[in-house]
Amino acid sequence: MEIIEGGICAPLGFTASGVHCGIRKNKSKEDLALVLADCECSAAAVYTTNKVKGAPILVTKEHLKDGKARAIICNSGNANTCNADGAEKAERMCELTASYTGVDKEDVIVASTGVIGQILPIEPIEKGMKSLAGQLSVQGASSAARAIMTTDTVEKQFAREEIIGGKIVRMGAMAKGSGMIHPNMATLLCFVTTDAAISPAMLDKALHAAVADTLNMVSIDGDTSTNDMLTIMASGKSGMKEIDGEGEEYDIFLNLLIAVLTDVSRAIAKDGEGATRLLECRVSGAPDIPTAKKIAKSVVCSSLLKAAISAADANWGRVLCAIGYTDADFDIDKIDVDLSSVEGSIAVCRKGAGVPFDEDRAKKILTPDEVTVKVNCNLGKGCATAWGCDLTCDYVKINADYRT
């Protein structure tokens, strides 16, 4: 499996663009993105489990009922949520996309991100569509990735390729997400494209399976967004035979999707609002996989541990505390904990109890921008990995004046 360039435009059959249309006051920031497929695609999606859902989600759900799509339109700066005219505005974005690209408006995925509860002005989008459609190209992935950013500090776009059925299959993704990240399906906004040939039913199956081990294992701050959406479109342009059931080719496709979404997950966690460190928790030896996942998520969600990681403080008791309130049955007296990074690894707990360790060495290990908490339950074969970040004063500053 190779890492390649091109982001969401790496697969055959896709172009993208991003422009500043005027939703954001800062004219240097793109705020409207478009992705277009040159043929009808199999499509699938997962959405937020928040009871409050942005209007774009409701519209996209209707449009994807037939498992087909050809375009994505997304704005940043305004979430189009909790507004009486939200659905009308979301549908209008689809109509504009159809008008400027020639696709059916029912084949358009629509998304929005930004401030909740403010009316989305449609006029800037109407004025920006000509330029947006006119700039569509296979080189447009970066401008599209920038256009969906909110408090993100870096673009999040990835691409990989793999041989499936004797053909080179490419998969690309762009995502946004830095705060309000705590998934129960996917989190953030993430759009995936591939030139694999796969039926809508199997694409949906693969997407839900991949999310369970990737985006569902990320947490920044415990808040689940109202606009979370992950979509995938498959053009079939690779020339491979369509995947219409389980088997070797489906398994390879699933692994490719997991790899791309793992890239996304790590990037989201590392770019958490105010974060200085990626926090990874690897659990092994759990009684089963569900228990391993619960433990891993509990550790990366601990505000106390996240604060300690910010200071490179090896306060391992906070790891045990987070493991201890995990909603699962296991013997805490068998737990081992190690802290590691590129600087090495150090044991801090064995059989549920602390062991002597060098504080200075531990601090050195926790200083790099990626640190790992390794938890061995010594109870079985269940394994899981979760991703989060440290908690800093900047997180509060960013969210205290988010609207202003």
Euclidean distance between CA atoms 158 and 372, whole angstroms: 23
In the block, tokens 């519209």 appear at 59
Euclidean distance between CA atoms 300 and 186, whole angstroms: 17
Query: HSE-up of 73 (CA within 13 Å, CB side)?
Result: 30
187 given a catalytic annotation: yes
Other beta carbons less than 10 A from residue 139's beta carbon:
13
Paired residues of 175 in beta bridges: 156, 190
DSSP secondary structure letters along 382-393? EEEEEEEE---H
DSSP-derived secondary structure letter, 28: T
Which amino acid type is present at position 347? A
Helix (H) or strand (E) segment spanning residue 17 = strand 14-19
Euclidean distance between CA atoms 61 and 66, whole angstroms: 10
Asked whether 326 and 317 are in contact (CB, 8 A), the reply is no
Which is catalytic among the residues 150, 187, 231, 291? 187
Euclidean distance between CA atoms 161 and 157, whole angstroms: 14
Q: Give the burial string for 355-378 (b: 16+ CB within 10 Å, else e).
A: eebeeeebeebbeeeebbbbbbbb
SS3 133: helix
Task: Please give the positions annotated as active site.
Answer: 187
